[in-house]
Amino acid sequence: MNMRDPKLANADLSTGRDVRLAARSGRLNGWTAGLAPGYVQGNLAILPREQASDFAEFCRRNPKPCPVIGTSAPGDWRIPELGADFDIRTDLPRYRVWKDGEMIDEPASVEKYWRDDLVAFVIGCSFTFEEALMEQGIPMQHITRGVNVPMYRTSIDCVPAGPFHGPTVVSMRPMTPGNAIRAVQVTSRFPSVHGAPIHIGLPEEIGIKDVSVPDYGDAADMKKGELPVFWACGVTPQAVIAAAKVPFAITHAPGAMVVTDLKNAHLAVL
d(CA 73, CA 57): 16
What is the nearest approach in angstroms of its own copies to the Cβ of residue 222? 12
Residue 201 binds its own copies, judged by CB under 8 A: yes
Residue 180 binds its own copies, judged by CB under 8 A: yes
C-beta closer to its own copies: residue 36 or 172: 172
Asked if residue 97 lies in contact with residue 250, where contact means CB atoms within 8 angstroms, the answer is yes
The 224-243 contact track toward its own copies, x by CB under 8 A, reads -x-x----------------
What is the nearest approach in angstroms of its own copies to the Cβ of residue 210? 18
d(CA 54, CA 86): 25
Alpha-carbon torsion (108, 45, 124, 75), positive or negative: positive
How many C-beta atoms lie closer than 10 Å to residue 133's C-beta? 21
Part in contact with its own copies (CB under 8 A); list of ranges 6-14, 41-49, 78-86, 200-208 = 200-208
Residue 196 binds its own copies, judged by CB under 8 A: yes
d(CA 263, CA 233): 20
The residues with which 207 forms a beta bridge, in sequence order, are none
| Interacting residue with its own copies among 5, 117, 205, 210 (CB under 8 A) | 205
Which residues in this chain contact its own copies in the complex, by CB under 8 A?
Answer: 176-178, 180-181, 184-185, 188, 196-202, 205, 225, 227, 270
